[in-house]
Each structure stands twice: as C-alpha cells, then as structure tokens.
Amino acid sequence: MKWSSKINCGCKINLRLKVTARRADGLHDLSSCFIFLPYPGDMLEVSGGVEGITLECPGFPELANEKNLLWRTAEKFAQQAGIKPQWRIILQKNVPLAAGLGGGSADAGALLALLNEHYQALDEKTLLSLAFSIGADVPFFLRRHPAAWVTGAGEKFEVLEHLPELPEILIVNPGFPVSAKWAYTHLAPELIGLDDPAQKAAFLSGSADWRGFCRNDLAPAVMKKFPLLTVLKDFLDANEALAVQISGSGPSLFALFAPGKAAVAAVKLRERFAGMANLRIFTEGKEF
C-alpha cells in the first residue's frame, strides 16, 4: 500500500548540561534542560510501497547508506514491529553535521514517530525503549515536546509543560564538526557531580540568572581545543547577549538575547566574520 508522510525534524539546544556521573555502560548520566527548536530542522519524507529500505540525502550522497542512523532506525523498527520494510526515505539536511544540536537524533525520533503513527505497531513504553536503544537523545525527539528536563543518560525526562518566557535564541555554528565521543572522553573529571536543584527551580519560576543557569560541563574541553569558539563567544557577549554557551557536545554556540536583539547581533556577527564561508547563523526561523 502506498502512503507518504513528511515532517520537519527540528533540533535542540541544551540550555543547561550538567554531567552527574559516569556509567558502567560507557554512557554518562546528565541533568540537562532540553529546548526543542523547529529551526533549523531537517525535512524528512517517508513513502511506503517500495521494496526494502532506500535512503536519499540530496546534496549529501555520502550520508545515503546503511551506516546512516536513519537506516538503522528503520531496520530496528521493522524488527521490533515484525514488519517487512517497504520504505523510501528522503532526508533534506538543514542542521549542520555533528553540531551539538541533535540533528541525527531528531531525524531518528521523527522517523520512529512517522512509522508508528502509520502502523500503530508499538505501545508507548516499547517505542521509548526502542528510541533509547538508537541514541540517548532520541526519546526526547520522539514526542517533540517544547522542553524537557532530561536525566539518566537521556531515557528519563520530565516534560516541562509551563515554560517561563524564554529570551530570543541565536545559534552559531562555526562550520566544523565535533565528535560527541571526543567531548565526553575529554570531560574534566572534577566537573562531574550532582546538579544544583536551585538552578532548576529558578528556571521554572522564571527567575533564573541566565549566565549562571546556562552551564555545560563539556564546554571547557571543546573551547580549549577550538579557540575560535571563544572568539565568537566574546563577540556575542560584547553585543548584548544575556548568556552564551555551547550546546551539547558542540561546537555550536547558542546566545540568549532580549527581545529584538538577536537579529541585530546576527547581522553584526555576519559582517564581522564575513571571511568565514562555513559560518552558519540562525535565529527566529531564519538563516543569516
């Protein structure tokens, strides 16, 4: 039977990322505030009625193979649901690769959501377990909640229904990838420890001090390896950012601004770093 579904996969930033423990399975326990962003977002289209699995990534032919997380997600769903795969998957990449924005996890979560919406094959618990087996951030993207407080290695999350009003968000990607494995491997051991519950309480009450709240334990190692990130951060700080921090394992930076200030800073950033052809700047549903 032929059918087709399309979705904007979105991405995320970690307003706060505190590493609380190393786990015996090689993962890390976190206390992290995830914010879902619809832009930038990859566009995913799934069509049924073809034999097997086919994957197309226009502009990125090197991604269209069996090693792609989407391919493995489709295989795992088929196996778990007892369904013979008959899917053509088209992925239009908009989120930079290995950027700390969860692009691959967002794609996987969106694919699981589309497939299960069509087949109604897996219950909520099984689907979440399958999502976590694919990647630690995938459960968050399965349901695309605006925000969540994530603990464990990503499998535990508290949906934040009543968010305080957030500042404007500017995302800056310097145009090179950073391996999440590298970032966690080079995490300073002395930074690992329990989170301060007062930070979460302040965020939920709308009284957070953004510079104190926006912490990322992975940032020191990443910024030391890539001094350009400090240069970009200093420029944003000098242009009225309320806070600037690395998202996830980097290298993307996010900056928070008062209303009307993010786009102004984006224009200045583009002018100041005009020689950086690979620099990408996003805010308010627009790329500068």
How far, in Å, CA of 50 to CA of 221, rounded?
46
Burial of 221 (0-12, 13-18, 19+ CB in 10 A): buried
Locate 246 and state its tokens: 């690395």
12, 200, 233, 261: which one is catalytic? 12
29, 42, 107, 137: which one is catalytic? 137
How far CA 77 is from CA of 17, 57, 85, 132, 263, in Å, comes to: 30, 20, 9, 12, 41
How far, in Å, CA of 178 to CA of 250, rounded?
6
Residue 2 annotated in active site: no
DSSP 91: E
Provide DSSP, 127-143. Answer: HHHHHHHH-TTHHHHHH
Closest CA to 145 of 248, 35, 44: 35
The backbone region for 83, taken as left when phi is positive above 0, alpha when psi lies in -120 to 50, beta otherwise, is beta
How far, in Å, CA of 124 to CA of 93, rounded?
28
Give the ranges where the chain is alpha helix by DSSP (H). 69-81, 103-119, 124-134, 138-143, 180-185, 197-205, 210-213, 219-225, 227-238, 262-272
How far, in Å, CA of 122 to CA of 115, rounded?
10
Residue 123 annotated in active site: no
How far, in Å, CA of 91 to CA of 272, rounded?
33
Give me the active site residues, please.
12, 137
